């Protein structure tokens, strides 16, 4: 696994690939494995990231330990922290 960053939620409602490609580039994640954890399903973000190699978007309730350990960086939406913690506690 790698580093963990918290996203404030700004701009996470776009369906444009370039928006998310730019975000991942800002984190130095071009061509690397990035796991984005959201509190709830976001169809726009799923559309915007589906063509970005290495990007995986999941909700806090569907994430697993392998996803986290496999990513170069985990980007967690601020509102997903509590649900993610709850999910991981249930899995342990």
pTM more than 0.85: yes
- State the architecture of 3-91 in CATH terms: 3-Layer(aba) Sandwich (3.40)
Q: Which residues pair with 36 in a beta bridge?
A: 57, 75
Per-domain boundaries in the chain: 3-91
pLDDT of amino acid 92: 75
Average pLDDT value over all residues in the chain = 93
pLDDT digits (tens, 9 = 90+) for 64-80: 999 999 999 999 999 99
The answer to whether the beta carbons of residues 41 and 59 sit under 8 Å apart is: yes
């Amino acid at each position: 696994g790698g580093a963990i960053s918290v996203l404030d939620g700004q701009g996470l409602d776009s369906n444009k690939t370039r928006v998310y490609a730019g975000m991942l580039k800002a984190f130095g994640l071009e061509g690397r494995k990035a796991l984005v954890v959201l509190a709830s399903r976001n169809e726009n973000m799923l559309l915007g990231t589906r063509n970005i190699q290495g990007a995986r978007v999941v909700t806090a309730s569907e994430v697993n330990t392998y996803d986290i350990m496999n990513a170069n960086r985990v980007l967690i939406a601020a509102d997903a922290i509590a649900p993610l913690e709850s999910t991981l506690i249930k899995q342990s």
